[in-house]
Amino acid sequence: MESTASRILKLYEENNHAELSKLLSSFDLRELSKVIRGQEVNGQSGLATLIRAVIYGSPCDSQQGEERRIKVYKNVLKTLQRELLSNAVASDIVGLLLIETDAFSEGSLVELAKFYIENIESSSGSDATAGNSHWLQLFPKLLSSISSRQKIVVDNNEIGGAEYKSCVLKQLCGVPWSAELAVHITTMLKDVEISADEMGVVLERVLLLLSQVELQKLPALVYQLLLLTTKGYKGLALEGIIAFFDKLDTKANKQNTGADSMEIEEDKINVEQLRQVEGTVALYVIFTIKQDQEPGREYIKYLKANQQTPSRILSPFNTALALSIAQIHRFEEQVLGCIKGCIIRSFRESEKQRQSEWFRELVPDDCEVTKAVLQTVRNSSQGWDHVSQGLLSLGFLLMDSYGPKGAFGSVDVPAGYHSSPSGKACKLGADVLLETFKLHNAVRGKILDEILNRLVTKAASPADHYLNLLAAVVKWGATVVIEWSQKVRGVFDCLPLLPESTGHRFLTAIQPLLKISMPLKDALMVVLRKTLFSSHMESRKMAVNGYLQILKNFQVLGSMSSSQFSQASQASQSSSSWFSQIQADVHTRSNPKANEALCLEIVSSLRRCFRQQSEIRMLLYQGLPEVVAVNTQLCCPLLELLLNQLMGYVESKPNMPPLLLTRCTTQQGEQVTCSEPLAHLLICLLQVLEKTYKVPVSDKDEDEDEDEDLKVVQSRCEDFLLSLTQRVMKCDLEDFELDKSTDFSGGTCLAVRNSLCAQLLVGVYEALMEAAFYRGSYSQENCELIVELYNCESNLLELLREKSTAGGGGKKGKAALAGKAAAAGKAASVAHFAPKSVLSLGFLSKILAGLFCDTMPANSAGLAALRGCKDLVKYLVTVTLHKLQHLNTDHRLSPTPDVFIYSSNIAKSLLAHYIAYSSISGTETDDKIEKSLLPACIEGFVSALQLVSSHYKQRIGEFLDKIGSRDSDTADDKVHRQVKHLQQAIASILTADLQESRFKEMVHILNAVAILSAELNTTDQNYIQLHRWVLRLCQEHCLDEQSLAKRLLTLLFAITSRLSSCAPVVLQLSQDIHIQLKDIDEEVDIQESNTFAMVTAKSAAPAALCVVLQQIDAMLDTTDWVIVRMHANAPTITDADASPSAQQENMEKQVCMQLGSLLNSLHELMQAAVPFGHCQELLVRTVTRMYGILTALTKYYINQYTKKQGHMCSRFEKLVRLSATHLTKQVYPMITYIQTTQSKDVQKKTEKAPTKKKKDNMVATKSRVVKENRSVPNMIFAVEQYERFLILLSKKSKVDLMEHMKLSTARDFRIDATAVQVALEEQAEVTEDEQDADEETEHVADTQPAKRQRTQQ
């Protein structure tokens, strides 16, 4: 064979074409194949020359030469498949065959194409071609040659070359590809000219291959796929890649949770390897987008198109991919905006699912957004450094969207805002940043930078969420954060400029840093010392808060004597501080001496606060008890400090009034202010004294002296308080220069000073009451002392009430005191004073427990004295109520265990008293004071329940246990037990003589039922029973008081919506409202009876009507949400999958049924004679909204017909017919009625006005009517839009939807035939009267000359 090959090569080198052709013709094709295979084995270097020689000697113009060429081509392909050749030789041969491919005839090209397809199909089951792609490099040229031929005969059929090329590609995509060949075939297809239709087939085939390729080979295949998409379908390729990796993530999650326990071991996914592959794929996508921005634009379209389906956007892989793409500046804003919008939408959707069973059934919760996003963060730890920057941007974007915004520098976060969608999104952003901080060292410094910058630059916006994040970061790793201590020190310089609350919480957050960094602590101490002397009040408050925080966190380990404190105080007066003198020796981390020196230094600095304004002193007095509760060794020096301060305002002479009230006020020019909040000082001393009794006694000999010092100070304080109480009790108001002759008018400095002194004395009485209670508890003598103190306070408040009444309206100080007089039972309102009361919540909790729950015989005598003073009991309950209300509205409240305990005890006491004295127990009281106390008791219980529900959500079960549930009950049983008590309370009120005074009680009870019902499981039988009870309450009882009707209907709708659709209830209520309000046509007489007894002529409008319209609007909003989800789901539904289509049809059916029911409800309300004003405006807006939803549903079906994805359901046609007959038909009569009522209202108000002002009143009233009725044109426009899209849908669907729809011809004006006829008749009468008058005038004129003539004669 070797000699044969040598002969062929010799003839080729001699360029002897004729002899070479003759020699090759003498060989059989099999022999020729052997010659080529022999050359492969013996010498690869001459193989390319041999093939070139064979081709040279095989002209295409002869059949034999064509056959030899085909044989050579096939042999070469097999050789290349077997990888027997080096890369250089293989490339040389491929280049040769590429040149010669165009010389093949049409039939040869067909044969070679089939050969290729057969080889690809046969190689799917073998690994022979795993790493070889040379043989596939010839296929693009082959397809190009086929496409260039005009006609090709295939199986006796003549077709075009381009058409046959498409057939070959389809055959290629139809045969199985081996996983090893997938990458090579995809790479090869890049060189093939592919049309759009062919690209779709090829892309679908490559995407199917993703599931067949091993994980480690996926990145290469995806990269080639992305390069292939330069020919088109970039968006489809990205969608396919995302969908594939989402399936892998789902499978991996099930594998980790054990859901697929029966899965074969070989099919299990290596999660670590999967994360590495996903990271590499994301990098390839970023690289592709940087080279060509078209895939990036397609990806943005994908995000926007799927904005309504969070499960697609917020999957872990797609979130990581989006955040990676967000690194490209061009797409950053759009990508992050889409992700943020999708997250907030997901939270809103979850809220709707919680509130509405109808929505929950149609739109199931298929995405746990928090879990999915945090999974992305955890996945990023597998080397996804390209995601970390995107996580940082997303986290701060979510946190920056937190509101509400402040107005004029003030920020007030409403209660419950943290549980809103925006609040949850902010919390998710904080969690993302915290997890990113933990996992990615590279971005830690930037996260801290951004947090601190926002604290400084966004001082006018809410900063609590940033401070919470900072506290969490510091708590997780203070030793890590300390590396960036210089950044924290930079904020210290801005502390004086920050709001007080922001500075306070910032200092609280960084306390762990101060414990491990002495330089940072020194820097803060210097700043606080300077700030304490600032000219701005807020800065000084911040300094006091900072000092108090340090005192709480740097505990003194040993006892501290008052002598040490006095030494520190003397040292603090010198130029250099005592702490700075010893700080060189205390640089160790937990040096007890360092903490002691630091605390003494701070306490000495705080002494300067006693010479500052009352606001600063009050802040100090409120914080010192909290300091002592943590740092107990400061009790002794602080007690002595407070006692010395208090003694400065007490007269030492026993025969003089004990209090120097005028010394507590300061006058600067004509302005008089309070300089010492004496009552707060007393309360602070009392609370610190109480803490000292809880200090454990030391067993060490060296601490005995310190314990003795503490006992001495305790004894001094007790004696002082007892002496002060006795002296105050002996004094009359005249002794304090406060009597009926005292001026409280507020017009002079003396009057203002008198008012301030009165306020101080009221506070002192309260503080002494609390001191007496803690000193003697429920002893008879002690309780009688409390009653006497209250009587003194009551007398002062009565005096102030009389002065306030006699002088008309007063100034600020007098108004506050008048409010306190009201609290004593001497006036009706107590709304303005309660937060200013100095009585502590702990004292109120204990004394109310004694008054309402204590049955111990030992305490009976003392409690009888307290209970006998009804005004005192009412006063204590009222103060408690307003303190709880203040805690509910104070967004700065940080939940503490003490507040929870006090709230629980108060709730138990108030509820017990309410049950005991209301008609629930069967022994209803006739005492007027007790009856007036019951509403305050139940309102206080509801306030405590609301406080626990808002701030201690996880402890609601413990709260119910404290107020009377059994420990063995389940969570639902505990809630249901309390609900039953409240139901009994409602029943007892209904069975008694129902008076308007008890309506307020029912409103509060229903508020409590609403709070507790949210804790019940909707599938539990107890919840169903509660729903039946509320429904029966509305149907069987005539509860037509406005506030009660609103509360009851709101509760009914809230409970019903969580259980089923509210549409039937809304329809029945609408019919009842129509019955009570009568029809707009006065000739129509409605004789039907009410379904709901609570809907009467009194409650129908505005109470019931407004609640029903608000519920209809909420249901329309939910329906609109479902329609949007239908739009989003429509493109994903395929004919091959029947279940999504069934789901879509069910959604369409339910939407049409919901809208039909709401349309019937509006049909009733539009016919009702709704009174002029807000109710009419609300009704017009709701009707406008209904037309908007109908238009949205019509657009959905237009889109379905445009994309040929579906058709109208039969219920939609019925809905259109119903809208024509029940809605549009009533629009213009309703508008006419509205205008009529407006005209009557204008005329009525004009007639009541004086004659000179009638014209001005007419103009003003008309302007107000025009302003209020801008919604009518909006409704008309909505009707026009609905009709317009109905016409368009009729054309597309070939269904006449306008059959029952009468097109309106009058928009901006209407011609009322009846009104025109009446006007014409009136005009005719006027014309006849004028004619008669003219005739009479002419007659008189004719007779007068005749009379003159007779006179002359």
Q: Which residue has the tokens 């409602």?
A: 986
Look up residue 347 and give its amino acid: F
Cα 643 to Cα 666: distance, rounded to the nearest angstrom: 22
- At residue 962, the pLDDT reads 86
Per-residue pLDDT at 323: 93
- Residue 500 in contact with residue 541, Cβ under 8 Å? yes
Exposed, middle or buried: residue 457 (CB in 10 Å: 0-12, 13-18, 19+)? Answer: exposed
- C-alpha closest to that of 1149 among 1221, 1072, 1100, 1214: 1214
d(CA 341, CA 369): 12
> Among all chains, which residue has been given the structure tokens 């007890």?
592
Helices (H) and strands (E) in the chain, counts: 59, 4
Q: Locate all alpha helices (DSSP H) within 517-561, ordered by sequence.
A: 518-531, 537-553
Spatial CA neighbour of 202 closest among 239, 179, 232, 223 = 232
CA dist 1339 to 945, 1331, 1332, 1350, Å?
Answer: 90, 12, 11, 18
Report the amino acid identity of residue 1009: V
| Whole-number Å distance between alpha carbons of 417 and 936 | 27
Q: pTM for this structure?
A: 0.85
Torsion sign over Cα 785, 786, 791, 792 = positive
Beta-carbon contacts of 556 under 8 Å, excluding residues fewer than 6 positions away, are 592, 595, 596, 599, 631, 633, 634
Q: What is the DSSP string of 1097-1133?
A: TTTIIIIIHHHHHHHHHHHHHHHHHHHHHHHHHGGG-
Reduce the DSSP state of residue 410 to 3 states and report it.
strand
Residue type, position 1298, single letter = M
**Residue 148: per-residue pLDDT:** 83
Evaluate whether 744 touches 814 at the Cβ level (below 8 Å): yes
Residues making up the chain, counted from first to last: 1353
Mean pLDDT, consecutive 10-residue stretches, the chain (1353 aa), reads 65 71 69 65 62 70 73 76 70 76 79 80 58 70 82 80 83 78 80 82 85 86 87 87 90 72 60 89 91 90 88 90 92 93 92 91 85 91 88 92 57 61 91 93 92 84 87 92 90 87 89 90 91 87 90 73 49 40 39 77 86 89 90 86 90 86 86 89 91 68 66 89 90 84 77 87 92 85 91 88 62 45 38 60 92 88 90 92 87 76 93 80 62 88 92 88 74 87 88 76 93 90 92 90 92 94 94 91 79 90 93 95 87 43 86 94 93 90 95 92 84 92 90 85 66 53 57 89 92 86 56 62 64 56 46 42
Q: In whole angstroms, what is the distance from residue 1350 CA to residue 700 CA?
A: 143
